[in-house]
Amino acid sequence: MSVDPVRPVSASGPVSAPIVAVEGLTRVFRRRGAPALTAVDAMSFRIAPGEAVGYIGANGAGKSTTIKMLTGILAPTSGTARTVGLDPMRDRRELARRVGVVFGQRSQLWWDLPLRESFDLLAAIHRLDRLRATRRTGQLVELLDLGPTLAQPVRSLSLGQRMRAEVAAALLHEPELVILDEPTIGLDVLSKARLREFLIQTRREHGTTLLLTTHDMGDIERLCDRVLVVDHGRLAFDGTLAGLAGTVGARRVLVVDLDRPSEPLHGIPHTQWLGAEGEGVRQRLAFDPADTTAAAVLAAVSERVTLRDLSIEEPDIEDVVRRIYSASS
């Protein structure tokens, strides 16, 4: 790997026991007549109470396999995983009491029952007393705007309604850790925004720890203060979003508004021309801070055209992640 994992430094003072502790975690799939496949390769990281961590990578990078080991669905080939201090394989019942999980492609609700009855059954499974179950269900129904859907069979809910219901189900027993695997997949913009705001509020009010896998960079930027990037089963990065951008020298985009239509601004040193709008009145040029500065690009542009306005766009996280994969391949 050409990108070393970058780990945030904790503030001084007492350190709480981690909610998730992974040390040398490895999972190898062995198939008859085919080479062994190492899906997770000596992974190590920790997540502190109250953190919101994005766990991202390309399809097949090892994300889902890691989540399955953290939740006791798969056993590691070697290494250790502790989730809320428990061995996920040995302590599954206690783990279910203290952790909530949302899988975007798999439901924990009863498809043919009204949503309210699914919540009642889950409350019974988690052994919530009637008062606590009623109080908690009411809170979640109100916060996630599920009232109009309570009498409907789960199968009749829209995708946005069902995902909000899945999150409510995962949080019904007030878990310490919530693991969300692609929670906004397929949702429209409004449904995504509503779900994100609820998760932010939950973390703020209850100190809930979030571990989020997603391909939607909007989820990461809105919800997470730390990101883990996994590539071919190995940890390629561990740090903040700002640190992620800085580690690979993520490019910036200079947007220039000109006083009149202009030819494309090709040939500006150390830039890539991205396109123009309005017959060339607005043009966009990408540059890498490792190669040049915004001032140098601006000076070169000013020698050719007259500027009316300008702005600099910060790195796009999807672009940053692509660059990490390119650097490590």
Tokens of 329: 């391949």
Residue 4, in any domain of the structure: no
Residue 11, in any domain of the structure: no
Q: What pLDDT score was predicted for residue 315?
A: 66
Specify the amino acid at residue 114: P
Residue 10, in any domain of the structure: no
- How far apart CA 53 and CA 211 sit, in angstroms, is 5
Q: Could you report the per-residue pLDDT of 93-134, keeping only the tens digit for each?
A: 999 999 999 986 678 999 999 999 999 999 999 999 999 999
Q: What pLDDT score was predicted for residue 232?
A: 87
Question: Which range marks the domain in which residue 57 is found?
Answer: 20-246
Q: What pLDDT score was predicted for residue 14?
A: 44
- In the predicted structure, residue 18 carries a pLDDT above the cut 60: yes
Residues 141 and 257 in one domain: no
Specify the amino acid at residue 288: D
Q: Could you report the per-residue pLDDT of 243-263, keeping only the tens digit for each?
A: 877 766 667 889 999 988 889
Q: What pLDDT score was predicted for residue 107?
A: 86
Residue 305, in any domain of the structure: yes
Domain boundary among 246, 275, 308: 246
Domain boundary among 226, 246, 266: 246
pTM of the model: 0.76
Instruction: State whether residue 5 is helix, strand or coil.
Output: coil
What's the CATH number where 280 sits?
A: 3.30.70
Q: How many domains does the chain have?
A: 2
Cα distances (Å, whole numbers) of residue 195 to 62, 100, 143, 200: 25, 16, 10, 9
Cα distances (Å, whole numbers) of residue 247 to 1, 53, 60, 130, 239: 14, 18, 23, 51, 10
- How far apart CA 18 and CA 107 sit, in angstroms, is 28
Residues 203 and 157 in one domain: yes
Higher pLDDT, 313 or 150: 150
Percentage above 90 pLDDT, the chain: 60
φ/ψ of 43, rounded to 5, equals -75, 135
Percentage above 70 pLDDT, the chain: 89
Residues 220 and 127 in one domain: yes
Residues 240 and 205 in one domain: yes
